[in-house]
Structure 1
């Protein structure tokens, strides 16, 4: 009987040891399944409906910078998504047209263009992920230098009275809607109220706004001596322009009601988004990892220099005013764009929830 006690204890000890070994093994397996080759954690998602994802990006748009980071650092690959980037599009409208034609599965697009497309019924879009929010000083109204006794407000008033005096960056596709982008809406909303005369709305915008491709705005403004012209410049075009010392700031458009303004997001066709939930869950998981890393200035600068060509020299990259890359979709935040558009008679009332993803948040939620 005495010899049975040690054997029983031995069996109990062995069982405990075995349980511990199995528990450690299970934990290790779980850890392996939730980590990636890049060292980042992988959110759980089901089987991908497809592994290929074609993304269309307007050339030179800083809001899409994390896409390049995600590809370069392997975040999308870790999620099983093979991302192909087409950044040859000269405009937001061109990117939307490519989405509609099935040439790409997802586009980075300016919120104004997407809202106009959705509210008029031209497209059925779903916002998959927010892209970029303007930072302090990242959108400016700039002009030619004038004699020192001319105040910026007076120069702006002269520009307002000149035909097509405000140059706004857009596509040049001869579509009237191309005149409107978030930076343009910021200008129309932020013009100083001089005797109630400086207010642009949809019905009189054509006489004040001249649309040009973003890269051509700087050339148009700097090539002549006319001081009755001013240009809306967002990053990185702003830093490119200001490094030539030929322009001055007239008005910071990242103040007041347009501070921290949502600029653009990632849109898919609604039908495609509904039938590919796991694909977009994997995509947004990797994109959020890329956004966190791109929020570090050193990474953002290196990615700019790697993918934005002559626009991102070391001097320009060092002077960029970066905004932020939200990792959630907040309905109230995006609705700010629609509210400003409606105040300018640019958009009808419609329920913006029709383009929001199922997991979109509201302030306070």
Structure 2
């Protein structure tokens, strides 16, 4: 048996070590290639960012925009090279949309019904950049003051009173464009009386719906002496009202045709979406990271308490019925909103494709 040449053995060992080092280095480069530094370097998978700053407008206390705060706090947008600033002071969806129209923000979170009505009436050309939020079980409720009536009888009593149904408004001030997803959910779900529901004022000036800002609905419901009043409240307003006042649930609006209802999403001007394609690809990549983390209840609760003020006390947050945060844009899913709208006479000729992004999914709603 011959003894191996020490020099040959040394050369073989060096070659093996060199190969291992090169392999590890290659893996490191591949891993780094899918991300970017917070200093503004572009992500190779997206191409160079057209700009590094994105201004986002969010209606105050909008639960659907919760992942935006997660993304900022955890640095996901920075990792994609985007410096995100959030203005969540807008009292209504219309106020946020006007800021987009006026060039004060680049992107807004908007209620789907409001955005569709704005586009269908020619107010603005919008493109959906990313879906925002889908209602969870029990997250949109029809509430009433405590009475001796059963729920069905109380709903009919409220129907008999002008303006008895308090509904969240978009802020347009126009009876034809004041609707939001929770309002359409109510009009879809009212038993027996839906066909007679006056959604606009008639010749007498009366209507069954009374639109109000979402944060005022709870105070109006519990502060009035009139027993024949009911209020549509989505989260977090529902848990806030239920946790601080004596109210009863007349109807869970997240059932049947309105179960898992798409509520709102992130919109920009169509021209901006076309010119800044890589920016919005990077944005949605970071947003999807944030959505995945916000889907964990502990993270959602912590982010709410950090950013939602008095609306997010520990008692309220502990009882919130959270929905889900879709990471894809589905034409079929959003088509459900249009179907419900058209069922009550809103945007009868609207084509949802006019605001869909190029990579929207079809047949997977």
Q: TM-score, normalised by structure 2?
A: 0.91
> What does residue 70 of structure 1 align with?
71
Corresponding pairs, count: 358
Tell me the distance in 2 between the aligned counterparts of 1:241 and 1:109.
23
Tell me the distance in 2 between the aligned counterparts of 1:164 and 1:29.
63
> What does residue 93 of structure 1 align with?
94
> What does residue 50 of structure 2 align with?
49
> What does residue 316 of structure 1 align with?
316
> Are 1:170 and 1:211, in contact at CA under 8 Å, matched by a contact in 2?
yes
> Are 2:35 and 2:80, in contact at CA under 8 Å, matched by a contact in 1?
no
Tell me the distance in 1 between the aligned counterparts of 2:213 and 2:52.
34
> What does residue 160 of structure 2 align with?
161
Counterpart of 2:244 in 1: which secondary structure? coil
Aligned: 1:286 with 2:296 = no
Aligned: 1:180 with 2:190 = no
> What does residue 146 of structure 1 align with?
147
Tell me the distance in 1 between the aligned counterparts of 2:299 and 2:120.
37
> Are 1:165 and 1:230, in contact at CA under 8 Å, matched by a contact in 2?
yes
Tell me the distance in 2 between the aligned counterparts of 1:121 and 1:174.
16
Tell me the distance in 2 between the aligned counterparts of 1:207 and 1:299.
41
Tell me the distance in 2 between the aligned counterparts of 1:116 and 1:172.
12
Q: Deviation string for 1:51-82 (max 9, x for gaps)?
A: 00000000011000000000001110111000
Q: Displaced runs of 4+ in structure 1, greater than 3 A?
A: 5-20, 32-38, 196-206
**Cα distance change, pair 199–128 in 1 and its aligned pair in 2 (3 A):** same
Tell me the distance in 1 between the aligned counterparts of 2:151 and 2:265.
33
Aligned: 1:219 with 2:219 = yes
Counterpart of 1:226 in 2: which secondary structure? coil
Q: Deviation string for 1:37-56 (max 9, x for gaps)?
A: 89xxx882111000000000
Counterpart of 1:328 in 2: which secondary structure? coil
> What does residue 342 of structure 1 align with?
342
Tell me the distance in 1 between the aligned counterparts of 2:221 and 2:10.
87
Uncovered stretches (5+) of structure 2, i.e. residues with no partner: none
> What does residue 240 of structure 2 align with?
240
CA RMSD of aligned residues (A): 2.5
> Are 1:141 and 1:251, in contact at CA under 8 Å, matched by a contact in 2?
yes
Counterpart of 2:348 in 1: which secondary structure? coil
Counterpart of 1:274 in 2: which secondary structure? helix
> Are 2:33 and 2:44, in contact at CA under 8 Å, matched by a contact in 1?
no
> What does residue 128 of structure 1 align with?
129
**Cα distance change, pair 298–188 in 1 and its aligned pair in 2 (3 A):** same
Tell me the distance in 2 between the aligned counterparts of 1:129 and 1:246.
37
Counterpart of 2:272 in 1: which secondary structure? helix
Instruction: Note the C-alpha offset of 1:315.
Output: 0.2
Instruction: Note the C-alpha offset of 1:326.
Output: 0.2
Counterpart of 2:32 in 1: which secondary structure? helix
Counterpart of 2:273 in 1: which secondary structure? helix
> Are 1:116 and 1:347, in contact at CA under 8 Å, matched by a contact in 2?
yes
Uncovered stretches (5+) of structure 1, i.e. residues with no partner: none
> Are 1:144 and 1:225, in contact at CA under 8 Å, matched by a contact in 2?
no
